[in-house]
Structure 1
């Protein structure tokens, strides 16, 4: 009889009690992990707050901006998930330099003629270049991003992969609010923290944003005067030369040495011409001593361009050949130059 009772007791422990205990342990572990993550983030946020205050941001701004804030899962998804379909050069250019964007650029040139000429006289950035940058970055102020810049940057700064970079951007974004240029609620931008009509990161804003209309605020979100002057200030500060163009599409001879393609190789226009390079309409290059480089966006059948120092300045805005060529090409199309030859 005692043997039967012992067997029953063993059955109960094995099949009823143990699973319950195991489930309880899982629940406890999950709760503990969640608490640990919350605790880690709270500690991190507290240290971040101290650092921001130590760098001159007021305690009030830090407290209000970071109150009840949490990492945003959607921002991490956008940062980590690369699209399966990648645009090739021609798809990218056709999307970015659309006929509507060209038409709108010409309209913005006329609407803002006085402003653009004034900026050109002070910064040396031609109106069609500035308008093209405006058009590509935010579709002339229409598409600026709707994400909370603080929320995005908190999320990306807490993520360990690029924490240092985004931590600096986060503190600079707090400084921008603290200086009164924009309210916390109005500081919207891309998921990565790029802001306003010219999509400046906070550190770029701190270094180059301008109060174009003298109202005491550097408002690149709703004030096109501030936005355009800020963009011109950035480009001018990179060494923009008003005397040369950004570049041009060219034709390479069949025997051209492909090892000469790249921004690290520079020659005068005359030297490139002596190697058989022609303009896109098959004319010889000029005998100019302006230095340039031959580049291609990447794929074997992509077009080739002879680009000058101003192209390098565009690349400091966005280190993408697709972006830089598209900005240059849009600026050309706005003033009536022909489309690229495929």
Structure 2
């Protein structure tokens, strides 16, 4: 065998390196076929029908892009102001007002039933999927199978995959139409399967909880999620405030909650300098990371939005959009 030159050795090693970094190795220790048979056995034991298992996994694929996206560490690369400007352009606000007006009777009916103001239902819809335009193009079964097999967060995604199969078993959606995000969030409300099982509503009573195409089900499911998570119909989410000079930064924390009167006594004012409202809601002060010191006094409903998505930026964007949509 001919000896490799130093240059050739470097080229070979570099090629191996490129393969390694471009193709993420799955964390699972057993072959996919073995893993899948074990998973199917568990699914059968949990009541998933043989027909659903056969159709769901007949052409299942492991998606390397999903693994890359799951392992990518989130970074704050935008300031709060940049994020809000990008996520809440005037066109989205205008569309939100139009959507509220277009679906007003249905939204008001659902709002009364679940105790959620229509503007917040529309705001969540807009922030999540641009009013149903961008719901994700991944096969939910493929994405969840990939993440369950990868083993990094296997327990969580295994449970979600089992619930996705249950959703198929109950005929809420056809396999070919079960599309969503790379992480398995589905439909116009971007529910994970567990959220679907716990909160999705068949509002039009056609036998299917259709968060993909049926507006009544989409709106009612979002409202039901908020209602069961502690939403208060007679409250808003929060407001921007102004702090006095020398304000104690230790008080700017979601774990510090005070009634309006106490914040007033500490010198907190509305952003225009006027007094806080007389109503004694309990609130906490929040300063979004990456912001310029903007401070918000947030209430119970802000915390409820955080149960939907733990991102401060997300919760703020929903609140801002709801305020700008108003009553249409």
TM-score normalized with structure 1 length: 0.85
Q: Cα distance, 1:69 vs. partner?
A: 1.9
Alignment map for 1:175-186 (pairs within 5 Å): 175-186=166-177
Q: 1:236-291 CA deviation, whole Å, 9 max, x = no partner? A: 00111111111000011111100011111000011001100010111011333210
Among candidates 226, 232, 237, match of residue 241 of structure 1 = 232
Among candidates 280, 287, 298, match of residue 296 of structure 1 = 287
Q: 1:112-160 CA deviation, whole Å, 9 max, x = no partner? A: 0100110011011101111000000110011101110000001111112
Alignment check: 8 A CA contact 1:314 1:324 kept: yes
Say if 1:187 and 1:61 are closer, same or farther in 2 by CA, change over 3 A.
same
Look up the match of 1:221.
212
Mapped partners of 1:69, 1:148: distance in 2? 9
Q: 1:46-66 CA deviation, whole Å, 9 max, x = no partner? A: 111111111121111012101
Q: Cα distance, 1:299 vs. partner?
A: 3.4
Secondary structure class of the residue paired with 1:292:
strand
Q: Cα distance, 1:80 vs. partner?
A: 2.1
Say if 1:235 and 1:154 are closer, same or farther in 2 by CA, change over 3 A.
same
Look up the match of 1:157.
148
TM-score normalized with structure 2 length: 0.89
Look up the match of 2:14.
none
Alignment check: 8 A CA contact 1:89 1:302 kept: no
Mapped partners of 2:215, 2:279: distance in 1? 37
Mapped partners of 1:334, 1:326: distance in 2? 12
Secondary structure class of the residue paired with 2:241:
strand
Q: Kindly indicate whether residue 131 of structure 2 is the aligned counterpart of residue 140 of structure 1.
A: yes
Mapped partners of 1:65, 1:302: distance in 2? 49
Look up the match of 1:127.
118
Alignment check: 8 A CA contact 2:180 2:187 kept: yes
Q: Kindly indicate whether residue 89 of structure 2 is the aligned counterpart of residue 98 of structure 1.
A: yes
Say if 1:80 and 1:39 are closer, same or farther in 2 by CA, change over 3 A.
closer
Secondary structure class of the residue paired with 2:120:
helix
Question: What 5-or-longer segments of structure 2 have no aligned partner?
Answer: 4-24
Secondary structure class of the residue paired with 1:161:
coil
Among candidates 40, 47, 61, match of residue 49 of structure 1 = 40
Q: Between Structure 1 and Structure 2, how many residues are aligned?
A: 305
Mapped partners of 2:203, 2:327: distance in 1? 29
Say if 1:336 and 1:92 are closer, same or farther in 2 by CA, change over 3 A.
farther
Among candidates 76, 79, 82, match of residue 88 of structure 1 = 79
Look up the match of 1:197.
188
Superposed structure 1 runs of 4+ greater than 4 Å apart: 82-85
Q: Kindly indicate whether residue 61 of structure 2 is the aligned counterpart of residue 70 of structure 1.
A: yes
Mapped partners of 2:298, 2:108: distance in 1? 25
Alignment check: 8 A CA contact 1:273 1:286 kept: no
Give the aligned CA root-mean-square deviation in angstroms.
1.9
Among candidates 46, 52, 61, match of residue 52 of structure 2 = 61
Alignment check: 8 A CA contact 2:81 2:291 kept: no
Alignment check: 8 A CA contact 2:120 2:322 kept: yes
Among candidates 317, 332, 338, match of residue 323 of structure 2 = 332
Q: Which has the larger radius of gyration?
A: 1
Higher relative contact order structure (alpha carbons within 8 Å, sequence separation ≥ 6): 2
Q: Cα distance, 1:310 vs. partner?
A: 0.6
Alignment check: 8 A CA contact 1:106 1:334 kept: yes
